[in-house]
Amino acid sequence: MADAIPITRHPVPQARADQIRAAVRAAEQLGDSRLARPEDAPGLFALFSEPKVNAPIYSLPRPLTEESVRAFIEDHLAQREQGEGLLFVRDPGDGQVMGYSDIQVWPQWAAGEIAGGLHPSLHSRGTGTQGAAHTFTWMFEALHLDLLCETASLQNVITQRMLDGMGFHRMGEVTSTRPDGSTRASLVWEMTAAEWHRLRAGPESP
């Protein structure tokens, strides 16, 4: 992970941080996705094994095996109990995981980050941007966050364009550390809840 994010850090009162942790612990559903369970390891491993899914994401388990994916799921369940992380899977019910959302939360700063991916069969349908917008709104509202911080590799032009197009602010570059200790350069964007809701509301009527 990148210890340098979020860039903006405004400490919140302990009661507010506790509220955020409680919201994380209570979360069970994100749109059409549910909390990941250890038994999802085979399906999630198959999704992570898709080059178009794993190439842009630095936070996936490495080496990538079914066992490491199961540990990844169990770690996120522990993070949920601490009020600091969530892992959702998009499961149509046939055992094939079609997408995932990995949420990290910093309750002390009322901030969060999300990584995720869709099965290649769902790419180029416009669902990625639409789903990201829904998720950002959910994180602000359901988890009571004030700030979202997002990263993308220097080569991940698709995500860069999406975040720029949504109005996120470029905050510079950090070094992200993968689970195996290797590193990559990541661009950083941030967006406040107030800015997000103002942009989504559109221009005021005359």
Query: Hey, what domains does the chain have and what are their CATH numbers?
Result: 14-148 (3.40.630.30)
- Please count the helices (runs of H) and the strands (runs of E) in the chain: 7, 8
Task: Give the pLDDT of residue 148.
Answer: 98
Query: What does the block give as tokens for 66?
Result: 């079914």
What's the average model confidence in pLDDT over 117-140? Answer: 82
Task: Give the pLDDT of residue 206.
Answer: 42
| Selected residue with higher pLDDT from 105 and 62 | 105
| Selected residue with higher pLDDT from 12 and 61 | 12
Task: Give the pLDDT of residue 205.
Answer: 42
pTM over 0.75: yes
Rounded-to-5 percentages of helix, strand, coil across the chain:
40, 25, 35
Query: How far lies 138's CA from each of 17, 56, 69, 83, 162, in Å?
Result: 17, 23, 25, 16, 18
Q: What residues does 65 pair with on adjacent strands?
A: none
Query: How far lies 193's CA from each of 45, 142, 143, 147, in Å?
Result: 33, 12, 11, 6
pLDDT in tens, 164-179: 999 999 999 999 887 7
Task: Give the pLDDT of residue 72.
Answer: 96
Task: Give the pLDDT of residue 130.
Answer: 83
Residue 56 pLDDT exceeds 80: no
